[in-house]
Amino acid sequence: MPTTPATTAETRSQRPAGAAGPVPGGTAEPIMLELVDESGVTTGTAEKLSAHLPPGRLHRAFSVFLFDSAGRLLIQQRALGKYHSPGVWSNTCCGHPYPGEAPFAAAARRTAEELGVSPSLLCAAGTVRYNHPDPASGLVEQEFNHLFVGLVQDEPRPDPEEVGETAFVTAAELERLHRERTFSAWFPTVLDTVRPAVRELTGPSAGW
């Protein structure tokens, strides 16, 4: 069943060093991100919102692309309550590792937290660095993004605080939806970068 704030609250002792967030008693601590240089080497940490204020500070992120057995991509609409890019569509899951957390571990963790699924396969698919302002919020995505592709067999059980809707789409359906709906500012960049790994994963018949 979908997770709730009561079941997703974490204590500092359950997280990698430097992580922060909800703690017992309802006191929220700042969420910290890992700052990096142009080569992806860690240079420090910054509070999440401050890292996204113009002009943005380069930080580590991840993006996940999961496919079903028919080669359809699982996409999500970000919940309307999110302060950054609410209501837009994007790939399966995006997020930020906690300081000191491996990107692979963060990708698997957030996929389970947001969508209630565990990939049956998850593979690294390279990195991409970009600078994408969000026209709606004015925030800036200065990210060194670790990409992952994989397979999913479970039916999504999204957390409504994170995800508005989900859909499995073919390459042709995604192209049509991209013309009709608003997608995240970073989506075209991460999709173009990950396409070779997607084609290797899904095969030529899937059309990616």
Structure tokens at 194: 């990950």
Active site (annotated) includes residue 123:
no
| Catalytic residue selected from 101, 114, 141, 143 | 143
Exposure letters 119-155 (e unless 16+ CB within 10 A, then b): beebeebebbbbebbbeeeebbbbbbbbbbbbbbeee
3-class secondary-structure state, position 133: strand
Q: How many other CB atoms are there within 10 angstroms of residue 176's CB atom?
A: 11
Q: Which of 34, 94, 141, 162 is catalytic?
A: 94
Helix (H, G, I), strand (E, B) or coil at 41: coil
Q: Judge whether 113 counts as a catalytic residue.
A: no
Between CA 163 and CA 111 the distance in angstroms is 11
Active site residues: 94, 143
